[in-house]
């Protein structure tokens, strides 16, 4: 069976730590979508490491890590990341595998991403400018290059053909930047990539399933950024929800087991797009400061607000979430009063559903207030030692969502995760 861990908000929920925690119970950890826009932060031997492409199970001996076909892969980012991981004594040639159907991000994808974003003016989506959107466009447009193509002697010819197509588009944008340094770096990284384990991903993972091995599928970004069900057009370019596991790894729907949803105890968003519970005041600034809310991939300050239960229940529904992990609960330790959004007011009417076009609807949050716990929780080791006010807060969320929080993260450390009985 394949269990899934994914984010339920707008990304940055702390999925990397949670995957790292659960990985010991699995034989395979697999990324199924997204690209180097993922920023999964781990603490290994008290050192911070951010993974953008490699699955978060990489530091567990004996665990196989697979980059699935639903991912778009930047060879340059992967090479740098492999070098960072190797510094911790990990041999990626032993436990990292890459599906041959995985599409490549080429330098002109990055250029197109930048050119397109600049052309939007004040309507920018907030792209990470990593070339991910254009790479997915080439995938659906049947133009892209895949990892398996690297093994073809005609790869360079295929690359030149694609580059010429891209150049015509860049010319239409008036894009004049020199990307020769990007290309030099790209071709160096390709040689490194050729030396890694390139496999037929769908057969690889289904053989593991057939052998009775437990698989953990690791999501990137968040459910509210899903290309179909997120806050379109302010979304990512892939299916971030549980259904994306089937397409992104080549596994059948009946192989999906647990769906573990990760949510912060509050809410954040990076970049543009609707964010109903955003706090553009001192409280929002305090959440950002205490939570150190700056993008792991971009470094951009995250927009902060109270937890949005309307959006969270929607995300639980479309993912079929079976259990929840609440992260960064300790960030709320110093707040005297907390609020949760239980409904939206749209055009004078109250609703608990996500509107078709969230930005156009301009929903006004309906709040329920809670007394804060005003107590440091980072040293708590079990549920009994957590403050009563925190338990009240979590219990309300459980009842509202109809799905229970089973773990509460009370700090960045690997061991700072409290089991909820």
Place of tokens 């340059």: 76
Cα 385 to Cα 246: distance, rounded to the nearest angstrom: 40
Q: Which of 20, 40, 109, 330 is catalytic?
A: 40
- Most distant CA pair in the chain: distance in Å? 66
CB 12 within 8 A of CB 303: no
Catalytic residue at 12?
Answer: yes
Q: Which residues pair with 256 in a beta bridge?
A: 2
- In 320-407, alpha helices (H): 358-361, 388-401
Cis peptide, bond prior to residue 233, ω within 30 of zero = yes
In the numeric block, which tokens belong to residue 155?
Answer: 């790869």
Q: What gap in Å lies between CA 316 and CA 322, rounded to an integer?
A: 8
The residue behind tokens 């990137």 is 220
Q: Name, in order, each residue with C-beta under 8 angstroms of 227's C-beta and a sequence gap of 6 or more.
A: 235, 236, 237, 238, 239, 240
Q: How far apart are CA 184 and CA 380, in angstroms?
A: 50
> Can 109 be counted among the known catalytic residues?
no
Radius of gyration of the chain (CA): 21
Q: Is the dihedral of CA 182, 227, 140, 4 positive or negative?
A: positive
Task: Judge contact between 57 and 17, C-beta under 8 A.
Answer: no
Distances (CA, A) of 24 to 19, 28, 212, 220: 9, 10, 16, 20
Query: Which residue out of 3, 12, 74, 226 is catalytically annotated?
Result: 12
* Structure-token match 């050729």, residue found: 194
Q: Which residues belong to the active site? A: 12, 40
């Amino acid at each position: 069976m394949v269990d899934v861990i994914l984010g339920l908000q707008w990304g940055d929920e702390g999925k990397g730590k949670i995957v790292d925690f659960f990985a010991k119970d699995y034989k395979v950890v697999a990324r199924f979508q997204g690209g180097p826009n993922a920023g999964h932060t781990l603490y290994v031997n008290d050192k911070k490491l951010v993974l953008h492409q490699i699955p978060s199970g990489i530091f567990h001996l004996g665990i196989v890590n697979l980059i699935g076909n639903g991912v778009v892969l930047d060879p340059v980012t992967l090479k740098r990341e492999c070098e960072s991981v190797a510094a911790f004594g990990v041999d990626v040639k032993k436990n990292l595998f890459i599906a041959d159907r995985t599409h490549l991000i080429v330098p002109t994808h990055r250029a197109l991403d930048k050119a397109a974003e600049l052309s939007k003016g004040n309507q920018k989506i907030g792209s990470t400018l990593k070339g991910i959107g254009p790479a997915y466009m080439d995938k659906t447009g049947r133009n892209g290059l895949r990892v398996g193509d690297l093994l073809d002697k005609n790869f360079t010819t295929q690359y030149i053909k694609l580059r010429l197509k891209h150049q015509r588009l860049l010319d239409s944008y008036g894009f004049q930047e020199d990307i020769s340094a990007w290309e030099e770096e790209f071709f160096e990284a390709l040689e490194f990539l050729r030396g890694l384990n390139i496999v037929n991903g769908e057969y690889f993972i289904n053989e593991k399933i057939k052998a009775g091995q437990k698989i953990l599928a690791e999501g990137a970004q968040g459910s509210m950024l899903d290309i179909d069900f997120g806050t379109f057009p302010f979304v990512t370019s892939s299916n971030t929800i549980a259904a994306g596991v089937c397409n992104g790894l080549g596994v059948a729907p009946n192989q999906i087991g647990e769906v573990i949803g990760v949510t912060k105890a509050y809410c954040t968003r990076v970049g543009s797009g609707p964010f109903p519970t955003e706090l553009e005041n001192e409280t929002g600034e305090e959440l950002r400061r205490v939570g150190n809310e700056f993008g792991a991939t971009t470094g951009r300050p995250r927009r902060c607000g109270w937890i949005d239960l309307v959006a969270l229940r929607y995300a639980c529904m479309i993912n079929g979430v079976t259990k929840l992990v609440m992260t960064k609960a300790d960030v709320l330790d110093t707040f005297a009063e907390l609020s949760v959004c239980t409904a939206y007011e749209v055009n004078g009417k109250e609703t608990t559903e996500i509107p078709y076009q969230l930005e156009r609807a301009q929903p006004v949050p309906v709040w329920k207030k809670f007394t804060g716990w005003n107590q440091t929780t980072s040293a708590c080791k079990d549920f009994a030692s957590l403050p009563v006010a925190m338990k009240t807060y979590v219990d309300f969320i459980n009842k509202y969502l109809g799905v229970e929080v089973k773990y509460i993260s009370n700090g960045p450390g690997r061991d700072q995760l409290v089991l909820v009985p």
